Amino acid sequence: MANVNNIANEIVRSLRQYTDEVKVKVNEAGKEVSEYGVRRLKVESPKKTGKYAQGWRLKKVGTKWVTYNKLYRLTHLLEKGHAKVNGGRVAARVHIAPVEHKMIEEYTQKVEEAIRG
């Protein structure tokens, strides 16, 4: 009976070690992908004065990484376009969505690699 308990304890210990390793790798993947996203957004963003493009930042909120712009009010207006005061519309400058899709692809790939070991 002691042998069975030892085997069970060893299995539990191995699973805990595996999950801890996966957690670390997933957190690293999140940070790496978020840093990549900030770099790409700084390059891809429209540049009139450059303040918007250089405003991309990264911060950790709990266990998640958040990519944001200091001039957050402009992100939606530039990405989707908007109405002008005297009529007409300003064309959309899609720059966030392509980077977002690339980040999702890369993060998914890194998480799958972490799970496979």
What pLDDT sits at residue 85? Answer: 94
Q: Per-domain residue ranges for the chain?
A: 2-116
Query: Partners of 67 in the beta sheet?
Result: 58
Task: List beta partners, residue 102.
Answer: none
pLDDT (tens digit, 9 = 90+) per residue, 94-113? 999 999 999 999 999 999 99
B/e letters for 56-89, b = 16+ CB within 10 Å, e = fewer, are beeeeeeeebebebeeeebbeebeeeeeeeeeee
Mean pLDDT to the nearest integer, 62-84: 94
Locate 108 and state its tokens.
Answer: 């998914």
Q: How many CA atoms lie within 13 A of 35 on its CB side?
A: 6
pTM over 0.75: yes
